């Protein structure tokens, strides 16, 4: 079992509950999309699973270990086996792409090796291979501030692929890409996760991408799991209930019929 959450809850600093009484079990190698309206708690869930947040209630087991019952050193070792793909990859502007990708393995490298690699990239081949899967091999020695938002997101994905973690968490990994590129990149990500035998959890705004690329879908609304089932069993009625918005007169998120590909550019 890769993930086991029992009654997990978390509140923001201002007291509003972000997640409440979450029950979730995820097996090794599963690929799951987490969907839901803005502010539903998708990012909080990913941060909890990435041990970047400590749950305030319930018990949490990640890769067979309880992260908050272990020493800080052991927790760092556990974190090295978790890869988090950020929505806006936090890369220093002046850093070169090759260094940013190699930084994925800092958790596995010794300090001397890390420092040496900073001066001279020791595994440029590995970084290039990771970038090549995302069609970015030509950007190897460019600086991060010369890339577009979508390219940066792909560098962030390449870094996690290079890290080869047992658990990949992706927070809106394709939000800055055009629909075609987003679909292609998600395909690469899910395929790579499968070949590496990694468990993949991705939060997505684009429902049609989630249904097309992930076998299991979890719908989250207002900090609770609304449904959790195989992609082919998700009904349009459930999606409508997931995104229903009482405050807007017209639904802001239009859910396309499952058979029809959506071609509306998203930013």
Partner 1 sequence: MLIATPAPRDPAALPRLVLTAVVILLLWPGLQLSELDLGVLFDEDNARTMGGFVADFWPPAHDTDFLALLARATLETLAIATAGLALALVVALPAALLASRALSLSAISRNGHPAWWAQALRWPVRGLLIVLRSVPEIVWALLFVRAVGLGPTAGVLAIAITYAGMLGKVYAEIFESVDPLPTRALLGAGSGRLAAFAYAMLPQATGEMLSYTVYRWECGIRASVVMGFVGAGGLGQQMDLSMRMFAGGEVASMLLTFLALVLLADLISRLLRWRLA
Q: Which residues bind partner 1 (CB under 8 A)?
A: 13, 50-54, 72, 76-84, 86, 89-95, 99, 103-104, 106-109, 111, 114-115, 118, 163, 165
- Closest CB to partner 1 among residues 83, 223: 83
- CB of residue 195 to partner 1, shortest distance in Å: 20
- Closest CB to partner 1 among residues 60, 239: 60
- CB of residue 140 to partner 1, shortest distance in Å: 17
- CB of residue 162 to partner 1, shortest distance in Å: 11
Distance separating the N- and C-terminal Cα atoms of the chain: 36
How far does Cα 48 stand from its chain's mean position? 12
Long-range CB pairs of 76-81 (<8 Å, 24+ gap) are 76/107, 77/107, 78/51, 79/50, 79/51, 79/107, 80/107, 80/108, 80/163, 80/165, 81/107, 81/165, 81/166, 81/167
- CB of residue 223 to partner 1, shortest distance in Å: 18
- CB of residue 109 to partner 1, shortest distance in Å: 7
- Closest CB to partner 1 among residues 50, 173: 50
- Closest CB to partner 1 among residues 67, 219: 67
- Closest CB to partner 1 among residues 51, 190: 51
């Amino acid at each position: 079992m890769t993930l086991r959450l029992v009654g997990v809850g978390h509140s923001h600093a201002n007291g509003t509950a972000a997640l409440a009484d979450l029950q979730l079990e995820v097996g090794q190698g599963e690929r799951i999309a987490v969907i839901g309206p803005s502010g539903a708690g998708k990012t909080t869930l990913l941060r909890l699973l990435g041990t970047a947040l400590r749950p305030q209630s319930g018990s949490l087991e990640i890769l067979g270990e309880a992260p908050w019952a272990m020493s800080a050193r052991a927790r760092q070792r556990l974190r090295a086996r978790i890869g988090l793909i950020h929505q806006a990859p936090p890369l220093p502007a002046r850093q070169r792409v090759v260094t940013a990708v190699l930084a994925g393995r800092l958790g596995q490298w010794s300090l001397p090796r890390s420092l040496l690699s900073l001066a001279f990239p020791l595994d440029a081949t590995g970084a290039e291979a990771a970038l090549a899967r995302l069609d970015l091999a030509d950007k190897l020695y460019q600086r991060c501030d010369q890339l577009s938002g979508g390219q940066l997101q792909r560098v962030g994905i390449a870094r996690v692929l290079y890290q080869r973690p047992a658990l990949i968490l992706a927070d809106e990994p394709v939000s800055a890409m055009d629909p075609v590129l987003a679909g292609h990149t998600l395909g690469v990500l899910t395929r790579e996760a499968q070949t590496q035998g990694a468990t993949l959890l991705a939060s997505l705004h684009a429902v049609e991408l989630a249904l097309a690329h992930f076998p299991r879908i979890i719908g989250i609304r207002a900090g609770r799991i609304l449904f959790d089932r195989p992609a082919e069993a998700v009904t349009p009625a459930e999606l409508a209930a997931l995104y229903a918005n009482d405050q807007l007169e017209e639904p802001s998120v239009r859910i396309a019929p499952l058979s029809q590909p959506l071609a509306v550019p998203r930013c």
